[in-house]
Amino acid sequence: WTAGVIGPRRVSGGTIANALEYNLGGAKTGYRRAHAKGICFAGDFRANGAGAALAGASVLKRGDTPVIGRFSLGGGNPLATDGRTVFHAMALLLRTPDRQEWRMALDDTPIFPVATPEDFVALQYASRPDPKTGKPDPKLMGAFIKQHPETKAFQDYLAKAVLPDSFGNAPYYSINAFRFTDPSGTTRLVRWQFVPETPLHGLDKDTLANLPRDYLVDAFIARTRHTPSRWHLQLIVANPGDVTDRATVAWSGPHRTIDAGVLTIDRAQTEEQGVCRDLNFDPTILPPGIAISDDPLLPARSKAYATSFTRRAGEGPGPSAAGHDFARQGAR
């Protein structure tokens, strides 16, 4: 049922992009194949220097680094309704004057539904919504879940998780582990998270049903006109025995955690006005001292983001997914 698209060895970026397009019922030309709806933002990261104990990257030394980024909703639908979409996400690009660069793409969940690129592709095929019901074929999805208890665990986690009512009060997680090497050559596996200064506030189901389509986007742009949003970058060092190559497994219990500094976002714009739309937030573009781990999702993400970028750049951008009346303007 995967139409022979899963190769025996490595999954290509094209295979992943095709699977995402299949799940969507066809490519949404001009848009990211995942996280299609988003807005741009800018701000800075003020490092307090504590993170330099884990990696020699310039961005972790005490000082300020300008940031550009993008908030998005998971999924490839540029017309998604904000409140109901599963992943809220943040992408960042930090570039220091010595031309070191750290790109990242983070979700607001600490774990991911699948552990391998093969499973990611299979899940796209199994979970394609039936146009009549809007739900996946229960037979295909049931078979997938039976073979993937980790995906069931993710669904269970999600059913209980609070859906943040703003991009500005959500935590954002690296999910994957990365390899940090300190100036003395000691290497540690690290996951990180951005913890919001504004306390998380959830959306209840009654409110969800009545929210306008662009609720999150409009509210964040309005909020940023008068209030900057801030997050603390917390670097979490793996304990011996922690699973570091499977993004489906959370780390539990106490961990050495370093507060490395504060991210401030004080400008937010639609994709047409900002500079984030034509960027690829490939999470394997890392500064010296930080490298990918053995998590197989990371190289697959790099390939998939590149293919998605190449396709959408070749097609030419669609109108900004947020802030437009598509019914009148005609979405592609």
Classified as helix, coil or strand, 175 is: coil
User: Is there binding between residue 106 and ligand HEM (CB under 6 A)?
Assistant: yes
Residue 31 Cβ vs ligand HEM, minimum distance, rounded to whole Å: 8
| Annotated catalytic residue, options 35, 148, 226, 232 | 35
Contact between 57 and 102 under an 8 Å Cβ cutoff? The reply is yes
Residue 15 Cβ vs ligand HEM, minimum distance, rounded to whole Å: 10
Q: Which is nearer to ligand HEM, 171 or 287 (CB)?
A: 171
Q: Is 255 a catalytic residue?
A: no
| Residue 174 tokens, joined | 């690296």
Classified as helix, coil or strand, 195 is: strand
How many chain residues touch ligand HEM (CB under 6 A)? 31
Contact between 103 and 93 under an 8 Å Cβ cutoff? The reply is yes
**Cβ-based neighbour number of residue 133 at 10 Å:** 9
Q: Which is nearer to ligand HEM, 52 or 321 (CB)?
A: 321
Residue 302 Cβ vs ligand HEM, minimum distance, rounded to whole Å: 9
| Interface with ligand HEM in residues 20-49 (CB under 6 A) | 20, 32-35, 38
**Cβ-based neighbour number of residue 320 at 10 Å:** 20
User: Is there binding between residue 281 and ligand HEM (CB under 6 A)?
Assistant: yes
Hunting for tokens 């073979």 — which residue is that?
147
User: Is there binding between residue 308 and ligand HEM (CB under 6 A)?
Assistant: yes
| E strand segments, the chain | 37-47, 63-73, 88-95, 101-107, 172-173, 178-181, 187-196, 229-237, 257-269, 290-292
Q: Which is nearer to ligand HEM, 8 or 240 (CB)?
A: 8
User: What single-letter DSSP state applies at residue 202?
Assistant: B
Q: Which is nearer to ligand HEM, 173 or 215 (CB)?
A: 173
Position 143: which residue type?
Answer: A
Residues with a catalytic annotation lie at: 35
Binding-site ranges for ligand HEM (CB under 6 A): 16, 20, 32-35, 38, 70, 72, 89, 91, 105-107, 112, 117, 120, 174-176, 247, 280-281, 297, 300-301, 304-305, 308-309, 312
